[in-house]
Chain A
Amino acid sequence: MAEPVLRVRALAKQFGGLAAVAGVSLALRPGEVQAVIGPNGAGKTTLINMLSGDLRPSAGRVELDGRDITGFAPERIARLGVGRSYQKTNIFGDFTAFENCRLAAQARHAPARLLLHPALRHAALNEAAERALATVGLAARGDAIAATLSHGEQRQLEIAMTLATAPRVLLLDEPLAGMGAEESQRMVDLIRRLAETHAVLLVEHDMDAVFSLAAILTVMVNGRVLASGAPADIRDNPAVQEAYLGTAEAAA
């Protein structure tokens, strides 16, 4: 089995007296989809925020290719090849979809002639942006102002921007949030395709999507890992059924 590209060891985040995340460990390999599931408030987004550098961990370690990146600033982690998308769509609403991706591609660009090179005439960046839009199925929407896109399209754009930064690891925070059935299916197909070339860590509520996509599931409850393993094992795990799946079904 390939060496993990992203390894998390006993990661913890304390907010005052509240242990939002406590002792979470996982290892993500290239070409693998892993999912973190759990009820609201389980600490899933806090976990992703620590991996992306948005939050500084209270304890534990994050390693990228064996290198300790714990507590690095988000821009540094992004440039090392960890891209993230947000649960709440976080795009540049006033810019076109193309410019959103072009800007994202620029993030990894070496700053040669930064002040003089016309941004829109940079062929490599334009190509990277077009490619990212095409990958998520927004090729025809490049000229649309991002804020005017439909919710589903904005979710796609969110992913496209992350892709345009050419990451090796993708952290996707609820990519299916608020999507209709058809849009969800397209997004699931997209994530499956992305997994061929990226290591993907997914936080998601949609159980069908999670079980069809992920090779390994980590179930979090109250900041701790309740169980971790293959989808079939997780499904049969009585503790998980009681803590999470049961309540989810009851709510549905």
Chain B
Amino acid sequence: MQPPSWPVRIALLAGALGLALFPLVAAPFYLQLVAKIMILAVFAMSLDLLVGYTGLVSLGHAAFFGIGAYTLMLLSPEYQAANFWLSLLAAVAVSAAAALVIGALVLRTSGVYFIMVTLAFGQMLFYYATGSKRLGGSDGAYIYVKPDAGILGWTPVDLGSRVQFYYLALAAMLATYLLLRVVLRSLFGHAIRGIRANAHRMRALGFPVFRYRLAAFVLAGALAGGAGYLSAAQYGYVSPDLFGWQQSGSVLMMVILGGMGTLFGPILGAFVLVLLQDFLGDLTKHWLLPMGLFIILAVLLLPQGLGGLVRMPRRAAAEPEPEAADG
């Protein structure tokens, strides 16, 4: 039930500040890379809501990432810009609706079966996108013109500008973090943590566990859809891989590596995983090997993830004292 400790808060603030200043010094390539990472961080935080807080290990979370991305593609006229606000809203709404339907089905299972069924749904969408002409088939499809965020002649953000897109991604990441913090300290947030800890007892107390899980699933799906939308907007390209199990697996890896149930951990996980991939990819084409070793070592040595490194000192220090009130 702990809110982030002071060292974590300071680190987060410093991190946000650093990211805000980064465009002043960064080369365009890295600007684009970090924007991509921040979008993946939104995706990873949305999965942490399920894995780390509700106790639902989904291996099909990319389904909603892909749905958000493809929604933008479908809403983009061929040679014109889609309206950013409307298409973003639509992408989030469609992802949420899909999560409601898929969640209502998959949440009837639990444990390993839940993992398998979520995986199956993701793969179903993957194969659907692969086979569908309308969706561009296995080659994917391009979004030739970036969405236009103009409101009545005023354009708060130009998605075509690398720097402005970077700030959009940063804002999305910070907004997602703050939104989930509010949700997690709410009555709902405490209830889902109770469900993760002991679903049986929660039912005996009178909580409609299924509905709580479904609500978390929908919220996570909606956020993942928003992340998928931004990803499609960044690259102007969608492909069936967005739905695939590799994508679901890699975001799950970000959550586990960063530390599930911490919210800031998945951000860290997204940065470490993507930067490492980039760094190792430059060194050798066999980068998957050192990458795999790193992940195995990290999981073995840091059972709480990278986020656990920041939290551990506080745990020891807080032991003799009663729990601090939520701030």
**Interface of A toward B, CB cutoff 8 Å:** 52, 54, 73-76, 78-79, 84, 86, 90-96, 99, 102-104, 106-109, 111, 113-122, 125, 143, 161, 165
Contacts and interface: CB of A to CB of B under 8 A. Distances in A.
Interface string B181-202: 0110111111100100110111
A92 B205 contact: no
A239 to B, nearest CB: 34
A143 B323 contact: yes
Given A109-B187, A121-B326, 8 more contacts: A86-B204, A92-B198, A103-B190, A103-B194, A106-B187, A113-B186, A118-B186, A165-B205
Which of B183, B201, B209 counts the most chain A CB atoms within 10 A?
A: B201
Contacts of A102: 190
B203 A73 contact: yes
A105 to B, nearest CB: 9
A64 to B, nearest CB: 14
A75 B187 contact: no
A104 B187 CA distance: 11
A107 B185 CA distance: 16
Contacts of B182: 115-116
A250 B321 CA distance: 50
Contacts of A94: 197
Contact of B200 (A76, A90, A106, A107): A90
B205 A90 contact: no
Contacts of B189: 119
Given A95-B197, A96-B1, A143-B323, A114 B187 contact: yes
Contacts of A107: 202, 205-207
A50 to B, nearest CB: 13
B187 A119 contact: yes
B209 A75 contact: yes
Given A90-B200, A103-B194, A120-B326, A75 B183 contact: no
Contact of A108 (B206, B322, B325, B326): B206
Contacts of A103: 190-191, 194, 202, 205
A187 B266 CA distance: 46
B206 A75 contact: yes
A161 B205 contact: yes
Nearest to B219: A115
Interface in B148-192: 182-183, 185-191
